[in-house]
């Protein structure tokens, strides 16, 4: 092989290595962002769970939350327990939606995790009076 062929081969290998490093960096950075969004989701929903528990403790029912199936959780009447509820939005593209309207004994709020987070798998989950499923 002549010098020009070796130089081209070196250039090609260097380019491939650079692209691989950039691809790995992009992938790992995206995974960190996914983890951060999932952590924020779980934090938000644990606050909602605590607010619902306080509501139940005070009224022995979940109905004062006054939200309906398919409403965003931000429309639930929990401001006495969670003043920032009106600003609760999924940090990604999803929404926290009421899946089962709060009644005497139950409620369910649907959300999605983008990745596996702690013991939870990626995909749709529910926050209920029993916790996160």
Strand-by-strand arrangement of the 108-113 sheet? 97-100, 108-113, 123-128, 131-132
For residue 132, give both structure tokens: 């996160």
Q: What are the tens digits of pLDDT across the range 23-66?
A: 444 444 455 789 999 999 999 999 999 999 999 999 999 999 99
Q: What are the tens digits of pLDDT across the range 81-126?
A: 999 999 888 998 888 999 999 999 999 999 999 999 888 999 999 9
The pLDDT assigned to 29 comes to 47
Identify the residue whose tokens are 């499923």.
133
Domain spans of the chain, in order of start: 3-132
State if pTM tops 0.85.
Answer: no
pLDDT higher than 80, residue 19: no
């Amino acid at each position: 092989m002549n010098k020009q062929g070796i130089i081209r081969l070196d250039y090609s290998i260097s380019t491939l290595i650079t692209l691989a490093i950039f691809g790995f960096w992009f992938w790992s950075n995206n995974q960190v962002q996914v983890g951060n969004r999932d952590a924020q989701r779980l934090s938000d929903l644990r606050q909602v769970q605590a607010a619902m528990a306080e509501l139940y403790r005070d009224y022995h029912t979940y109905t004062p939350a006054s939200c309906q199936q398919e409403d965003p959780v931000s429309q639930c009447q929990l401001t006495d327990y969670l003043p920032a509820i009106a600003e609760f939005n999924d940090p990604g593209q999803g929404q926290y939606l009421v899946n089962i309207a709060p009644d005497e004994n139950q409620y369910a709020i649907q959300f999605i995790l983008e990745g596996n987070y702690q013991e939870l798998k990626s995909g749709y989950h529910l926050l209920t009076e029993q916790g996160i499923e």
